[in-house]
Amino acid sequence: MKKFLATVIALSAITAAFTGCSGNTSSASSSSSSNSSNSSSDSSSSAASDNSSAGTSQAESGSESQTTERTAEDLAQAVFKAIDWVSSEQITDAEIAKTMVNLDLDLLDDYSIYLPTMSVHLDEIVIVKPKAGKEAEVQAELDEHFAYIKDGAAFYPDQEIAAAGAVEGKTDDGFYYIIVNQIGSQIEEIIKDYKPGDEVPKLEVPEVDNEVTVPTDELGSVVFPSMTTESVMPGDGVELG
């Protein structure tokens, strides 16, 4: 009987021990699983945060790039906002561009060319971006055209004024330009600095007095050059009163 009771007590102790171990193991497993879950959640949250930050940074970078990138037409339109330009036509035909401004359009990645519709004007806007490796060729063509503008193109008074103010140059972002206008030096500052979305200041163009003074006598009658002393050469046989 005593042996039986001892056996029962021993079995009870062993059972209790196994039950305790099982509970501890289960608890430890549960705790480990919980910690693993929390770690995974934290890792996912951190990754999501990093991805979100990266996405925001890329979006901001892309937005800034789109805002600051300029085209030749952007710059031409900025000029039109800055000054009341003469009536002009945009040139896109390769043959006309070669004939009128000495430019080969095949050498260009981007361009905006405006020429006056009336021959009495000389005002031009030529803004181009050469293809990679073609910069020297484009520069040579522009130099030749600019030389013609400064010495040979002007005939009428308005043309002479525009030619006198003409400028040629290059921007930091690779645009080459010729601006033929009375205030060309002011206009080129807009071309250099303008970014899409900027407000363009209005430029003032000085009025030019093209009035021709006609000589008159004391009575107000027109004195023709043929009757002035300066126009008479010695030996002409003309007596002046």
CA distance 15 to 28: 20
Q: Is the pLDDT of residue 9 over 80?
A: no
pLDDT category at 186 given cuts 50, 70, 90 is: very high
Cβ 204 vs Cβ 198: under 8 Å: no
Q: Is the pLDDT of residue 91 over 80?
A: yes
Residue 217, pLDDT score: 63
* Cα within 13 Å of Cα(143), Cβ side: 6
Task: Give strand pairing partners of 128.
Answer: 111, 176
List pLDDT tens digits, range 23-71.
Answer: 444 444 444 444 544 545 555 555 445 555 555 545 454 444 445 699 9
CA distance 68 to 129: 16
List pLDDT tens digits, range 105-132.
Answer: 999 999 999 999 998 999 999 999 999 9
Q: Is the pLDDT of residue 189 over 90?
A: yes
Beta strands per DSSP E along 39-116? 88-90, 108-116
Q: What is the pTM of this model?
A: 0.61
CA distance 192 to 112: 15
* Cα within 13 Å of Cα(51), Cβ side: 6
Interval 224-241 mean pLDDT: 47
CA distance 160 to 174: 29
Task: Give strand pairing partners of 108.
Answer: 130
Token pair 């107000």 is at which residue?
220
Q: Is the pLDDT of residue 218 over 80?
A: no
